[in-house]
């Protein structure tokens, strides 16, 4: 199974359905089922200081070092001015990503919470979990 590791609180925001677009500096041609892994890295100070972002998540829900949900990666869109302007209309989605010209929006659908988190060591990029 393909997996994507994210730092918290972003993995939990996807699990909770508050975030359906993952923003990246690189594109992927992969489409299909994807597990979301919450990395063991603690929340960086810059994220903790972002009150709007942190108001979207309950700190007791965070799952460091676990695969916590699955989803379908259905598209990867290169960001344009128009795309970014459209996303700004959804304040919560906008504050949960880095939106800039030339970056990529990975569109996630059909998010499903796992019954039990799966302990795993994360990796960079999209990686395989057996």
CATH number of this structure's domain 2-128, picked from the four choices 2.30.130.30, 3.10.450.50, 3.40.710.10, 3.50.50.60: 2.30.130.30
Distance CA 6, CA 120 (A): 12
Rounded Cα–Cα distance for residues 87 and 21 (Å):
10
- The pLDDT assigned to 46 comes to 85
Query: d(Cα 96, Cα 70) in Å, to the nearest integer?
Result: 18
pLDDT, tens digit (0-9, with 9 covering 90-100), for 18-75: 999 999 999 999 999 999 999 998 888 888 889 999 999 988 889 999 999 999 999 9
Residue with tokens 């990666």: 73
All structural domains of the chain with their residue ranges: 2-128
* pLDDT per position as a tens digit, 69-107: 999 999 999 999 999 999 999 999 999 999 999 999 999
Q: Is 41 left (phi over 0), alpha (psi -120 to 50) or beta?
A: beta
11/122 Cα distance (integer angstroms): 12
Dist. CA 42–CA 62, nearest whole Å: 10
11 pLDDT higher than 90: yes
């Amino acid at each position: 199974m393909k997996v994507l590791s994210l730092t918290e609180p972003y993995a939990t925001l996807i699990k909770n359905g508050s975030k359906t677009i993952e923003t990246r500096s690189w594109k992927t041609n992969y489409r299909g089922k994807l597990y979301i892994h919450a990395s063991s890295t603690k929340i960086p100070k810059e994220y903790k200081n972002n009150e709007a972002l942190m108001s979207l998540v309950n700190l007791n829900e965070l799952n460091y070092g676990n695969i916590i949900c699955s989803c379908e990666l259905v598209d990867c869109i290169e960001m344009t001015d128009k795309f970014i302007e459209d996303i700004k209309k959804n304040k919560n989605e906008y504050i949960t990503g880095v939106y800039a010209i030339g970056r990529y929006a990975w569109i996630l659908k059909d998010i499903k919470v796992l019954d039990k988190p799966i302990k795993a060591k994360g990796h960079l990029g999209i990686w395989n979990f057996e």
